[in-house]
Amino acid sequence: MELIKDLPDRLLFAVPKKGRLHTSCLSLLEGADIQFHRKNRLDIALVKNLPIALVFLPAGDIAKFVGEGNVDLGITGQDMVAEAEAQDKVSEILELGFGKCRLCVQVPVKNGAAKVEDLVGKRIATSFEGISSNFFKDIDAKAGGDKKTELVFVSGSVEAACALGLADGIVDLVESGETMQAAGLHDIETILSSQAVLIASRKPKHPELVQTIAGRIKGVIAAQKYVYINYNVERKFLKEASHITPGRQAPTVSPLENPDWVAVSSMVLKNNVAQTMDDLEAIGARDILLFAIQNCRV
C-alpha cells in the first residue's frame, strides 16, 4: 500500500480484495473493459487502457477510504457503508444487483427470544458494532429501566456465539439462510437489507472519468438483465404490442413495405422473455426474434 504515494495522476478505484463480493466485482470490471493485471501479493493494479489504479481493500474499509481519503470510486456493500457511518460522506451511484443479503438479529430456535425487546440486558455477538450499537441503544431506550444490552465483538464465526455460550443472540448477515439454520438459529428482526453498490467520493478528483466508469458499469448490468427483441405486428395491434414490450424508455417502431404492418424492437427483461413471446404471439405478432446484449449504454 505504500506504493500509492508514487502513483501517477490516476483515478483510484477500490474493490474488495476477497470475500463474497470479490468474484462478481472482477466480472463487472471485465464487462466494463477495465483491463488490468494484478501481481501476486500486491493490492494495487494499474489499468492498462484507462488512467485508473485499482486498489484492493477489505470491503469493510472501502467506504471510509472513499468518504475520507483520496479514493474516487469504490464497490462495497450497503451494510458496509452503514457500518462505517459513511452515508453522508459518499454518493451511492448505482445498485449492482449482487451480494444481496439482510443484516438480522438472530437467536436460537430453541429457548431463544421471541422479539428483540426480549434481548434487553443480554449479550449480543456481532461484527457490526456500529449498526448494532445504534439499534440496541434505541431498543434499550424504549424499554426503559437500567438494563443495557451488552455487545460482544467477534470478527468471524458469529453464528457459533450462541452455541458456544458467548451470547444470547447475534447480529449477522443472512444470504441463503443455510448457515443460520445449520447453527440452530432463526431471525427475529431485519435491521437493514443490503446489496453491492458503486459509491463515489463527494469531491472526486476525476469527475468526468467517474461518470464514464459509472456509465459503463450501468451498461454491463443492463446487458445482464435484458435481451433485445424484434418482431413484426399489424399496426392495429401496435398499442397492445407496446404494452407488452414497453422497453426501458419506449419501443422502436419502424414502417414496413406493407403499410398495415410495422417492425418493433425493444429491450425486455431476460427472466420474463418466454411469457413476453407468448403474449406477442397471442396478438398476432410474427417473426419474433431474440438477441443477446453483450453490452449497452442506457
Could you list the pLDDT tens digit for every one of the 298 residues in the chain?
445 555 768 999 999 999 889 999 999 999 999 999 988 878 999 999 999 999 999 999 999 999 999 999 999 999 999 999 999 999 999 999 999 999 999 999 998 899 999 999 999 999 999 999 999 999 999 988 788 999 999 988 899 999 999 999 999 999 999 999 999 999 999 999 999 999 999 999 999 999 999 999 999 999 999 999 999 999 999 999 999 999 988 999 999 999 999 999 999 999 999 999 999 999 999 999 999 998 898 8
What pLDDT sits at residue 2?
Answer: 47
Residue 298 within a domain: no
Which one of 194, 216, 245 terminates a domain?
194
Query: For residue 128, what is the domain's CATH number?
Result: 3.40.190.10
What pLDDT sits at residue 8?
Answer: 67
Q: How many domains does the chain have?
A: 3
Residue 213 within a domain: no
How do residues 48-82 score in pLDDT, each as one tens digit? 999 999 999 999 999 999 999 999 999 999 999 99
What pLDDT sits at residue 123?
Answer: 96
**DSSP string spanning the chain?**
-GGGGG--S-EEEEEESSSTTHHHHHHHHHHTT--B-PPTT-SEEEBSSSSEEEEEE-HHHHHHHHHHSS--EEEEEHHHHHHTT-TTTEEEEEE-S-S-EEEEEEEETTT--SSGGGGTTSEEEES-HHHHHHHHHHHHHHH-SS--PEEEE-SS-GGGTTTTTS-SEEEEEESSSHHHHHTTEEEEEEEEEE-EEEEEESS-S-HHHHHHHHHHHHHHHHHHHEEEEEEEEEGGGHHHHHHH---SS--EEEE-SSTTEEEEEEEEEGGGHHHHHHHHHHTT-EEEEEEE-S----
Residues 141 and 73 in one domain: no
Residue 218 within a domain: no
Residue 60 within a domain: yes
The residue range of the domain holding 175 is: 101-194
Contacts of 212 (CB under 8 A, 6+ apart): none
What pLDDT sits at residue 134?
Answer: 95
Residue 72 within a domain: yes
Residues 11 and 150 in one domain: no
Paired with 53 in beta bridges are: 12, 46
pTM for the complete prediction? 0.86
